């Protein structure tokens, strides 16, 4: 039993902090300080800074551009990044399709795709969900039909495709064998967004950001060499991807930062003549949430220690997802509560609230998604019930 990090790990943490202190570009730092909202070009600016440092893909093997860190270093790095308020990097290339290509792709695919994911030259999005295939993903209907000339012809609709409007490539689950049962006929296909017949139409979220799209495929011709792994073997790979390191899914770092923001707002919000942060009942509320978060942090460390020992993350990671996503929402709810009537402000067009508060209402609305995406919390509970508790169903 040991709760501490080693001196080496602590030294590593200091190195990361020092880097974050000195190397964050001023325009990003300025926004981070007021908890601003980052546009895609700012996210990519930051991506490139980390790329130049060699830190953009902590979980990639060293020979493919990773920094060669162990699980603890990766976790420490992630935690410090999230706390810094710098933009969250787009996960679709670095954390999703990249690792999948590393594990299942052929050499040509590795050479073609990995360097540009790493450098940020090509941006990716994820085309899994469809209008009628959400939680029941395996019922997806987008088809890819072999044209006999070395191509698949893709038809169908993907939906909720996050930031597809900015993406150069989309990785999709498509049905390549309609006669097979559900999971069996699905392939993992990489599609260039510039392919004729591919169209991404942005939709507004409740936070009023154009954060996701409907993505349409009309007779889009895609070379067969863009299938990763065996044809009709996509489902297993997508599942395997979920088995990758999942210690970040609790968003502990983000919530740590969100709580700091709550405290900052509470320190300049006045109740009965003194800062709300000094009010007993609000302090209790903040403490209650912080303790929930600290409990999750320890839980996360346990998962991390398991990963250090090389254990594959099991269904326990659903614990992190369930509690972590709830805490993310509760941080924003508390921020709104602390703001009182200022929580009415919608994008602050008249500077009516301090700059650091102007995105709170938008995030409060958008973050209702954390319990829906990435496997809804109901589905996560089903997983625990079945896989851990052994209940029938």
Partner 1 sequence: MDFELNDDQKLLKDSAAQFTKSSPVTRFRKLRSHGGGHGGEVVSHDRCWEPSVWKQMADLGWLGLFYPESVGGLGLSFFDMTLVLEELGKTLVPEPILASVVLAGGAVLKGASVEQQKKILGPMIEGKTSLALAWAEKDGRYDAGHVSTTAKKEGGTWLLSGEKVWALNGHAAETLIVSARTEAGISLFSVPSNAKGVAIESAKTMDGQRAARVRLSNVVLGSEDLLGTEGTGLPAIEHALDLAAAGACAEGHGIASTVLWMTVNYLQVRKQFNVAIGSFQALQHRAVDMFVETELLKSTAMLAGMKADDSDVNERRRAVSIAKAQLAAGGKRVVESAIQLHGGIGITDEHDVGLYFKRMSVLNALFGDEEHHLSRYASLPGFEGA
Residue with structure tokens 């250090």? 308
Separation of alpha carbons 27 and 49, rounded Å = 13
Member of 240, 372, 384, 385 binding ligand FAD (CB under 6 A): 372
User: Judged by CB under 6 A, does residue 90 bind ligand FAD?
Assistant: no
Question: Does residue 98 contact residue 122 with C-beta atoms inside 8 Å?
Answer: no
Question: Does residue 370 contact residue 325 with C-beta atoms inside 8 Å?
Answer: yes
Q: Which of ligand FAD, partner 1, none interacts with 170 (beta carbon under 5 to 8 A by kind)? A: none
Least Cβ distance, residue 359 to partner 1 (angstroms): 8
Using CA atoms, how far residue 137 sits from 140, 169, 189, 374, in Å, is 6, 21, 16, 12
CA 147 to the chain's CA centroid = 35
User: Judged by CB under 8 A, does residue 298 bind partner 1?
Assistant: no
Of 93-101, 165-173, 296-304, 378-386, the segment contacting partner 1 by CB under 8 A is 378-386
Question: Does residue 190 contact residue 228 with C-beta atoms inside 8 Å?
Answer: yes
Least Cβ distance, residue 286 to partner 1 (angstroms): 12
Provide the β-strand partners of residue 125. Answer: 170
First to last CA, the chain: 37
User: Judged by CB under 8 A, does residue 325 bind partner 1?
Assistant: no
User: Judged by CB under 6 A, does residue 202 bind ligand FAD?
Assistant: no
Least Cβ distance, residue 206 to partner 1 (angstroms): 4
Computed over its alpha carbons, how large is the radius of gyration of the chain?
A: 22
User: Judged by CB under 6 A, does residue 140 bind ligand FAD?
Assistant: no
Residues near partner 1 (CB under 8 A) are 37, 39, 129, 132, 134-136, 139, 159-160, 202-210, 269-272, 281-282, 329, 333, 336-337, 339-341, 343-350, 352, 361-362, 364-366, 368-369, 371-373, 376-378, 381-382
Residues near ligand FAD (CB under 6 A) are 125-129, 134-135, 160-162, 212, 369, 372-373, 376, 378-379, 382
């Amino acid at each position: 039993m040991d709760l501490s990090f080693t001196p080496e790990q602590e030294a590593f943490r200091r190195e990361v902090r020092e880097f974050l202190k000195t190397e964050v570009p001023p325009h990003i730092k300025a926004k981070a300080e007021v908890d601003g909202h980052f546009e895609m070009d700012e996210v990519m600016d930051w991506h490139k800074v980390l790329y130049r440092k060699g830190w953009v893909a902590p979980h990639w093997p060293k020979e493919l551009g990773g920094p060669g860190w162990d699980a603890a270093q990766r976790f420490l790095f992630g935690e410090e990044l999230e706390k810094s308020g710098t933009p969250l990097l787009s996960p679709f290339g670095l954390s999703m399709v990249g690792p999948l290509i590393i594990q299942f792709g052929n050499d040509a695919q590795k050479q073609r795709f990995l360097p540009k994911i790493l450098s940020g030259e090509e941006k990716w999005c994820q085309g899994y969900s469809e209008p009628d295939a959400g939680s029941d993903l395996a019922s997806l209907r987008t088809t890819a039909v072999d044209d006999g000339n070395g191509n698949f012809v893709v038809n169908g609709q993907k939906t909720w495709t996050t930031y597809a409007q900015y993406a150069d490539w989309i990785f999709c689950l498509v049905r390549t064998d309609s006669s097979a049962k559900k999971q069996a006929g699905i392939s993992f296909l990489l599609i260039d967004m510039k392919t004729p017949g591919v169209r991404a139409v942005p939709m507004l979220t409740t936070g009023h950001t154009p954060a996701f799209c409907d993505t349409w495929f009309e007779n889009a011709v895609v070379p067969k060499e863009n299938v990763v792994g065996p044809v009709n073997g996509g489902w297993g790979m997508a599942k395997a991807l979920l088995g990758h390191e999942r210690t970040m899914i609790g968003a502990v770092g983000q919530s740590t930062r969100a709580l700091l923001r709550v405290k900052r707002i509470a320190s300049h919000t006045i109740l009965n003549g003194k800062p709300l942060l000094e009010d007993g009942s609000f302090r209790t509320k903040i403490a209650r949430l912080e303790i929930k978060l600290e409990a999750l942090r320890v839980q996360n460390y346990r998962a991390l220690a398991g990963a250090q020992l090389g254990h594959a993350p099991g269904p326990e990671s659903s614990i992190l997802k369930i509690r972590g996503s709830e805490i993310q929402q509760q941080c924003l709810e508390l921020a709104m509560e602390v703001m009182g009537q200022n929580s009415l402000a919608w994008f602050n067009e008249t500077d009516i609230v301090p700059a650091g508060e102007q995105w709170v209402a938008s995030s409060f609305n958008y973050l209702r998604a954390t319990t829906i995406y990435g496997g809804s919390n109901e589905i996560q509970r089903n997983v625990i019930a079945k896989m851990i508790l052994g209940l029938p169903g």
